[in-house]
A and B are shown apart, each in its own frame.
Chain A
Amino acid sequence: MGIVEPGRPAPDFSLARHEGKPFTRAGLEGRTTFLVFYPNAFSPVCTDQLSVYHEVLDELREAGMDVMYGVSCDSTWSQQAFREQLGIDGIEMLSDWEPKGAACRAFGVLHPAGMPERAIVLVGPDAVVRWSHLAASPGDLPGANLLFDALASHART
């Protein structure tokens, strides 16, 4: 199964917020949301990716984004430590730890190695997928320009 396609409703899922509470499909409603699936906390490429995105959060909000979440199969503790190390307090982390990878599988982005693919999903306020991007490989880093392209083309469609 490939990554969830534009025009499809976001699938049902449950992820853990850093304080342990669940974040489900209902959490997507009413806001334009980027879900940034990244393979591993603390890995070099994920570090670069989230750091650059954090650098342009204000501009992304100006362009129509309401919120960005990072999603991985790391535990909430690892995600929180990663977030604190990078100082990226504007990007909340959601953990797909248990059952491991279930939400990633629902979005069609679970890598055979048990981690998320490097993928991004833009979800509209109606919880319908507006745009999705699957990197050619987990080492392939999508530039932030793609996020702006996606917002410009799809956020209000």
Chain B
Amino acid sequence: MGDLRSAPLPPVGRDDHVRGPAAAPLVVVYGDYECPYCAALELQLHGLAVRIAFRHFPVKGTHPRAFAAACAAEAAAEQGAFWPMHDALFADQGRLEDPHLWARAERLGLDVARFDADRRADAAAARVKAQFLGGVRAGVPTTPTLFLDGVRHPGRPDDALLGRLANLAVRSRV
């Protein structure tokens, strides 16, 4: 990827992992599975009933297992289990070594051999890297970084932003 100059947030598309009520406000989250603040944000957003598009932003220096964990989530997605793996990764961030990833796959009922091949495949790494570089271009400087209505909110969201999300989520239900 040559050009990494500033660019708008990549639009949410078919390659994205999205969940939440269709009418709820859409939040794009750049995070990594080894980042404790990202795990905390997940819980906060769950409680707010927003629609979430999660994108990978693994940074090896800070979180050496983040890239492998992101590839594991993408491999699970090949078997229709992105979100269960996503939740399982965030639920136990102290266990992200290979045997822990296999154990998760097994627990989720995945074909573990296929999962293991997929998470090591170039395609998974390419998807993760593409999301990371798209985030770099959109100005993501850290994890978590959250985009609401295209506006960037780097770092842990403050009470004002969480309150705004809560209000939007409530309004989407009435």
Nearest-CB residue, chain A, relative to B7: A145
CA distance A15 to B148 in the complex (A): 42
Q: Which of B55-79 contact A (CB under 8 A)?
A: 59-62, 64
Q: Is the interface of B mostly helix, strand, loop or mixed?
A: loop
A59–B5 Cα distance when bound, in Å, is 11
Q: Counting CB contacts under 8 A, is B96 at the interface?
A: no
Q: Which of B136, B138, B142, B155 contacts A56 (CB 8 A)?
A: B136
Let me know if B138 and A148 touch, CB within 8 A: no
B60 close to A51 (CB less than 8 A): yes
Interface mask (A47-65 → B, CB under 8 Å = 1, otherwise 0): 1111110111001001100
Does A88 interact with chain B (Cβ within 8 Å)? yes
Task: Check: A114 CB closer than 8 A to any chain B CB.
Answer: no
Contact-residue size bin, chain B (C-beta under 8 Å from the other chain): 20 to 34
A51-B59 in contact given A143-B141, A148-B4 (Cβ < 8 Å): yes
Question: Is A62's CB under 8 angstroms from B2's CB?
Answer: yes
Picked from B2, B133, B142, the residue with its CB within 8 Å of the CB of A141 is B142
Given A145-B5, A146-B6, does the pair A87, B140 have CB atoms closer than 8 Å? no
Contacting pair A55 B139 (CB below 8 A):
no
Q: Tell yes or no: B157 within 8 A of A by CB.
A: no
Q: What is the interface of chain B, defined by CB distance below 8 A to chain A?
A: 1-7, 59-62, 64, 132-133, 136-143, 154-155
